[in-house]
Homo-oligomer: A and B are copies of this chain.
Amino acid sequence: MEQSNAVLSALGDAGKRLTVARRAVAEAIAEQAGHFTAEDVLAVSRRRRRAVARATVFRSLDLLVDLGLVERVDLPSGDHAYVACEPDAHHHHVVCSACGRSVEVGELGLRPILERIEFSTGFAIDSHRLELFGLCPECRMAAAAKPSA
Contacts and interface: CB of A to CB of B under 8 A. Distances in A.
Interface stretch (A5-13, A18-26, A28-36, A116-124): A116-124
Interface residues of A, number: 38
A103 B122 CA distance: 10
A67 to B, nearest CB: 17
Interface in A72-123: 72, 74, 76, 78, 80, 94, 96-97, 103, 105, 108-110, 112-114, 116-118, 120-123
A121 B80 CA distance: 24
Nearest to A138: B122
Given A103-B121, A105-B121, A117-B105, A129 B129 contact: yes
Q: Tell me the number of copies of this protein.
A: 2
A135 B131 contact: no
B108 A137 contact: no
Nearest to A110: B113
Given A72-B78, A110-B113, A132-B114, A124 B140 contact: yes
B130 A123 contact: no
Given A78-B72, A78-B80, A108-B116, A127 B134 contact: yes
Interface of A: 72, 74, 76, 78, 80, 94, 96-97, 103, 105, 108-110, 112-114, 116-118, 120-137, 140
